[in-house]
Amino acid sequence: MESTERQKRWQKDNTITPEKMALARLVLGEVIEGRNVMDALRAHPQAGGGVLSKAALVAAYLEMTAAGELKPDKSLLERIRMKPVRTLSGVTTVTVLTKPYPCPGKCIFCPTDVRMPKSYLPDEPGAMRALEHNFDPFTQVQSRIAALETLGHPTDKIELLILGGTWSSYRRDYQEWFVRRCFEAMNETLTPIPSPLQGEGRRGEGNLPAAQTLNETGPHRNVGLVIETRPDEITPKELAWLRYLGVTKVQMGAQSLDDGILEMNKRGHTVEQTRQAVALLRAAGFKVVLHWMPNLHGATLESDRADFARLWEGFCPDEIKIYPNQLLANTELYDVWQRGEYHPYTTEQLIDLIAEIKPTIPRYCRVNRIIRDIPSTNVVEGNKRTSLRQDVHTEMKRRGTKCSCIRCREVRGTNVDSTTLRLADLVYRAGSAEEHFLSYITPDDQIAGFIRLSLPLAGSPATGLADLDGAALIREVHVYGQSLPVGAETSGAAQHIGLGTQLLLETESIARAHGFGRLAVISAIGTRKYYLDRGFERGELYLVKEIG
């Protein structure tokens, strides 16, 4: 009920009536003349009270540029856009959730709500949107793209983030249908196709490869596809299936690297299974995101410090999400807490712990999150602040320490002078692979772009993927700056000074010097053309280039 009321309030605030449009045009005129956006909004309140939303300003801008009354002005759009940080990392993320389905995990900290996939609550922002659309992938993607466009964000380059329990445990016909419908929404294909889990779908109804091919030149190209699963679900057969779907990045809950802690929390897998899963994913070129949870049942502040250090001993994830365990009422952990056997850390203890460990994160890793976006009303005891990242950075500043992870060093919206960049090659051992994290660095140590090159070593696990035989792997190419429409240019934007091409040439040189005769890249569907234009050819599941 609460989520429905929130949605109604949002729709009311963001519905653009003729009266709102007239007022928005007036405010926009003052902004064009140089007035501060918020000052202009406050100077012209609505008749019923309150100020216009920035969505109204974006709507006025779009109407005026379409009518030829105003010349397109990217800097103006950036000033009036809501939450520009959403697209400053170079891509526009669209999050969708799968429908509730049995999860193989029995974790004592996971909430269970029959309306939601395992571990999610109906009042989390992304989950709330999914519930509103009855978990339909097409309408979730379609409505999210429309909302982002209303807020002024470009949507031609989409990273699709599929959440909801354990992806690999869902029926494969449902997985294929779900991904296909996401692509059809990005392609703006309007034909409805029922879900197989509703007993209405038929094999052959729709075609995923065809939808993927169309997306290579579609209006909303998929530049990354992310799923989340468990370490014990990763096998060579699963790797091939994920590539067929178009997956490029895999999130896994490591949670802890202590078998005793995993057992106490009924996680259902071992540390060794996590190690093997990471090695397999890396050998197949996937980007690896690990979730790590401090304050699990049985853990202490001291054991968590030691546990975090183990992440960089062979696992070496490309990205991490730090999810402090949160005590929720509808969990088995709640019963443990009631017996006095579990004690959540205080907010101050968490801030102290994360402020201590964050500066130790290697420069090749990105910290995506430091807290789950769970509304504080669900938390029984312990930290209830969702602004933990800001709190941690404030504490680190007080201590005079800093984090050198990728997120903390992205150029984001800063203009880049290509003549001042230097190329850095950070080489590290990750299990049975030699990793090269090549990045272009500004004079003040910000990252303008990077590439991940993986060189398989002796003992690298067999993937069974023919495209990868004798190949060095490009696992990620990312050039930063405000996400721009395909073909657009902004003076000094890192995405448009050729850094990606230069990084590809560097990897080719390194791979050849190490005796590799071919390169393989784990391309997203919407980036295939980029690589094909640079000498790569289509393989079965990867794009490959002979370099010998």
Which CATH number, 3.40.1190.10, 1.10.10.10, 3.40.630.30, 1.10.357.10, labels domain 418-546? 3.40.630.30
C-alpha atoms less than 13 angstroms from C-alpha of 68 in its C-beta half-sphere: 0
pLDDT of 91-127, one tens digit each?
Answer: 899 999 999 998 898 999 998 888 998 889 888 878 8
pLDDT at 457: 97
d(CA 124, CA 369): 15
> Could you tell me the pLDDT band of residue 202, with boundaries at 50, 70 and 90?
very low
> Could you tell me the pLDDT band of residue 83, with boundaries at 50, 70 and 90?
low
The secondary structure of 363-374 as a DSSP string is TT-EEEESS---
> Could you tell me the pLDDT band of residue 57, with boundaries at 50, 70 and 90?
confident
Helix locations, 33-121, DSSP H: 37-43, 54-66, 74-80
pLDDT at 90: 56
State whether residue 335 is helix, strand or coil.
helix
Phi/psi at 211 (5° precision): -65, -35
pLDDT at 371: 92
Q: Which residue has the higher pLDDT, 297 or 10?
A: 297
| Residue 541 in this model has a pLDDT that exceeds 80 | yes
pLDDT at 205: 56
| Residue 4 in this model has a pLDDT that exceeds 50 | no
Asked if residues 97 and 120 have their Cβ atoms less than 8 Å apart, the reply is: yes
Of 429, 265, 451, nearest to 362 by C-alpha is 429
- The residue-averaged pLDDT of 414-425 equals 89
Asked if residues 382 and 346 have their Cβ atoms less than 8 Å apart, the reply is: yes
Of 387, 410, 233, nearest to 319 by C-alpha is 410
pLDDT of 442-460, one tens digit each?
Answer: 999 999 999 999 999 999 9
Q: Do domains 252-409 and 418-546 have the same CATH topology?
A: no
> Could you tell me the pLDDT band of residue 481, with boundaries at 50, 70 and 90?
low
Helix locations, 164-235, DSSP H: 172-186, 208-215
| Residue 40 in this model has a pLDDT that exceeds 90 | no
Residue 462, Cβ density class (10 Å: 0-12 exposed, 13-18 middle, ≥19 buried): exposed
> What single-letter amino acid sits at 37?
V
Q: Which residue has the higher pLDDT, 497 or 376?
A: 376
CATH topology of domain 252-409: Transcription Regulator spoIIAA (3.30.750)
Q: Where are the domains of the chain?
A: 2-82, 83-229, 252-409, 418-546
pLDDT of 367-388, one tens digit each?
Answer: 999 998 888 899 999 999 989 9
| Residue 414 in this model has a pLDDT that exceeds 90 | no
Which pair of structure tokens corresponds to residue 113? 């709500």
Percentage of residues in the chain with pLDDT exceeding 90? 67
Of 174, 177, 183, nearest to 145 by C-alpha is 183
State whether residue 311 is helix, strand or coil.
helix
Which pair of structure tokens corresponds to residue 188? 């703006």
State whether residue 128 is helix, strand or coil.
helix
d(CA 322, CA 324): 6
| Residue 495 in this model has a pLDDT that exceeds 80 | no
d(CA 344, CA 381): 7
CA distances to 28, 105, 286, 311 from 463, in Å: 56, 25, 12, 23
